[in-house]
Homo-oligomer: A and B are copies of this chain.
Amino acid sequence: MGKQTVFLNTPPSVIGRASVVGKKEGEGPLCVDFDYINEDSYFGMETWEKAEVAMQKQAFSLALNKAGIPPSKVEYVFAGDLLNQCIGSSFSMRDSTSGFFGLYGACSTMAESLSLAAMAIDGGFADITAAVTSSHFCSAERQFRFPLEYGGQRPPTAQWTVTGAGAVILCSGGAGPHITHITTGKIVDAGIKDSNNMGAAMAPAAYDTLKTHFEDTGFSPFDYDLIVTGDLGSVGHAVVLDFFRDDGIDLSAIYQDCGLMIFSQEQDVQAGASGCGCSAVVLTSHILKGIESGRWKKVLFAATGALMSPTSVQQGESILGICHAVSISS
């Protein structure tokens, strides 16, 4: 293996998975795959941040139910979100008795948490671990852009932050789906400074990680039934297709993007969806369901993140991209 990719000798299995989403996500094409759709953007709480916490707790709880284990059996939880100081994750785990590793990988967090949760098992440090990730349209909008009341216009390259939380419970051994390979991304600076064009900022990182994954493992892209990036949207998805086309590879038949799967074109989300919750809920609903049902045997899940903050953008910094890829087999 190359230095960015690890092969898991005893691939951990997904023994529980759950996705909880908001109303708009529940009106999209993946509606039948989600575990729970909440029509109330407050999830019964007083604030959007507390709503995000409630949503993450619910996803974790539903995933534990499916795994048939109590929370006390989980040795380590790897969790992250988009909120300042990652309060979505820490407050959702405030009653947990598991060892807690807080992560920040922007919208790549589902793959980052899944990678570390799988490595903790394969490395012999635990038998059961969890990966949990969320984002909420309203808490993200007020932190990153404008008060919603401002009514600012969204350019066509902008993406729509998903309201959703995903949780995966992993176990050593088991019947699968199995986590077999992990390619950890490096930071890629493409020099993009427009925070309404995250897809273009993340696409070079996605290409870098996918290319590294194929080089390190010796796999051909066509060894996979599905290659799916996190939340590049239409702009970034097209850039990745172009990069591979320049290498003489046409990925169009097998390459999709979570940011283009969760909403329909009629839902008016400009270039597609984004947010940690985007790839988290698409993975924990549609993708893992598709592997379980035999629709896909081998999937490369490559969540992408834009590393930036309102402060870094104001200070003229470019938006850094990162992409972590996790190979999942039936």
Contacts and interface: CB of A to CB of B under 8 A. Distances in A.
B101 A187 contact: no
A101 B105 CA distance: 7
Contacts of A75: 3-4
Interface in A61-105: 75-76, 80, 82-87, 90-91, 93-105
A307 B187 contact: no
A317 interface: yes
B104 A102 contact: yes
Contacts of A105: 101-102
Contacts of A119: 119-120, 123, 125
Contact of A96 (B3, B126, B187): B187
Interface stretch (A28-36, A247-255, A259-267, A308-316): A308-316
Contacts of A218: none
A106 B91 contact: no
B187 A311 contact: no
How extensive is the interface on chain A, given as a class? 35 or more
Given A87-B309, A309-B87, A47 B315 contact: yes
A322 interface: yes
A50 interface: yes
Q: Which 4 A-B pairs have the closest CB atoms?
A: A123-B123, A99-B184, A90-B307, A85-B309
12 contacts: A4-B75, A6-B125, A85-B309, A87-B312, A91-B317, A101-B103, A102-B105, A102-B307, A103-B103, A116-B116, A119-B125, A122-B123
Interface of A: 3-4, 6, 46-47, 49-50, 75-76, 80, 82-87, 90-91, 93-106, 112, 116, 119-120, 122-126, 184-187, 189, 307-312, 315, 317, 320, 322
